[in-house]
Structure 1
């Protein structure tokens, strides 16, 4: 017959088990928010939902990605340095701060603080044709301002999109100017401009076919990596949406059908077998 002391032990054990279950659930949720970052992740299947854990290697902080709860946030260490401030509507200025997280850097300088809100479209000229994006400049002025600056500096010219997802995770990730996208490089997904800026346009964010959003390694760690969605993703509002594709989605559809190269991190994503190279990026203003 169980004593009162035995009953107390049982209740304590059950309480501990519930705590551990809740902790595991929180950790799983955090990992699911890590699918589309600036880095490759380790994808697992949880109840039919793809989830990813971005990897952190050496001093390099590999950024996060998208999940199907998918997301670009991973368990990667947050980017070091000061936290950038959000867009100041009163002065029309953005806050770009140095990113000292340790990833590979292609340094072309820092964007001007004053946001140029004249940008209307972004054209990614690729080896497969043009991908045209209608920019959400009013909702993501600092993101668009950064892209306009980097495009002017030819930052993206000759860069390769290093990560594509399977049918269950339909996105193409680009913007690492140093990525080799050969299925062998261990540094793909770690490249950036050496600065970071705050998240924007997250309220009510939806990640549906055609949306273009920023990859990141946690809140307010945007750099130059971004992803283009060619299906629908159920993601948390953690990745700045800054445009919508108006032309060229068929390019991604066709490339995705050819699959990805082996040698990835086992998350179902990898460099596309049919390489996607960004020859140049052009930003067009309002007429």
Structure 2
């Protein structure tokens, strides 16, 4: 005959099992949420404006463009309203650039498949940051004029990752379509062969706050950073826009493409190998885009 203590132990065990199950489910969903932050997402049409359900990236990038299904930021996660357990809150997340001290905040994050090359330097001098970024790819050079003044911590992180060879040999893993015209890159673990469900889950082992969001738009020629639905989850993944996307202003516009839009048009014309599992028509590009190296100036 069961005693009161036995019943308490059973209830505690069942509670623990439920918590563990919910945690596993959240992690599995997070790894599939990235639209441009990290993995795949669901594209919806709202009032004629096409948006995508978060990321541009899988988990914290974990990072594809992670897009919001509504014009407002901070939308609820698929599990419901944001809570300390399933979202990164502004209080717990990385802080914005502190202009007085010249300090950026990079928070360690081991979610997803990590290629860890260390943390970028936190103390920066914006005027000494690079003004341009060049991706030397298998399809040709893609040059970016960086928004150094408005996104100093993001530019600093990109320059750091470029210097460490983080992007070298990586493949752009997700190509959009007419409704979501972008090419997502920045996952060093992505296979981009149309078979890798884990594509988009790779990250640098850290995350940072979003920048330059006021009035942000994602029109042809914009380079923006991917993230999940939660704030403060920008990592290494990014998306290059070759059309106009009606996303909410939640993803750091880090630069403008000054050379290489013809490459994106060519890749877009070739289409995807196989549409991804989300059923949104996006997937690995048939015209493979491999980043050979990245330089700054």
TM-score, structure 1 normalization: 0.79
Partner of 1:278: 291
Q: Which runs of 5+ in 2 are unaligned?
A: 1-32, 79-85
Farther off after superposition, 260-269 or 141-150: 260-269
Native 8 Å contact 1:68 1:233 kept in 2: no
What is the Cα-based RMSD across aligned positions, in Å?
2.9
Q: CA deviation at 1:68?
A: 8.0
Distance 1:233 1:149 in 2: 28
Taking the aligned partners of 2:134 and 2:43, their CA distance within structure 1 comes to 31
Higher relative contact order (CA 8 A, sep 6+): 2
Match of 1:220 among 227, 232, 236: 232
Secondary structure (helix, strand or coil) at the match of 2:157 reads: helix
2:146 is aligned to 135
Q: Work out the number of aligned pairs and report it.
A: 251
Decide which of 179, 201, 216 is 2:212's aligned counterpart. 201
For residue 108 of structure 1, the aligned residue among 114, 117, 123 is: 117
Partner of 1:210: 221
Shift of 1:115: 2.1
Secondary structure, aligned partner of 1:41: coil
Aligned residues of 1:44 and 1:52 also touching (Cα < 8 A): yes
What residue ranges of structure 1 are gaps of 5+ in the alignment?
A: 1-32
Question: What is the CA distance between 1:66 and its match in structure 2?
Answer: 3.2
| d(CA) in 2 for partners of 1:205, 1:57 | 23
**Does 1:93 find its partner at 2:94?**
no
Counterpart pick for 1:261 among 269, 273, 297 = 273
Q: Secondary structure at the match of 2:154?
A: helix
Aligned to 2:27: none
User: CA 1:58–1:239 in structure 2 vs 1: closer, same or farther (change >3 Å)?
Assistant: closer
1:48 Cα deviation (Å)? 5.3
Quickly say closer, same or farther: Cα 1:51–1:201, change in 2 above 3 A: closer
- How far off is 1:220 after superposition? 1.1
TM-score normalized with structure 2 length: 0.76
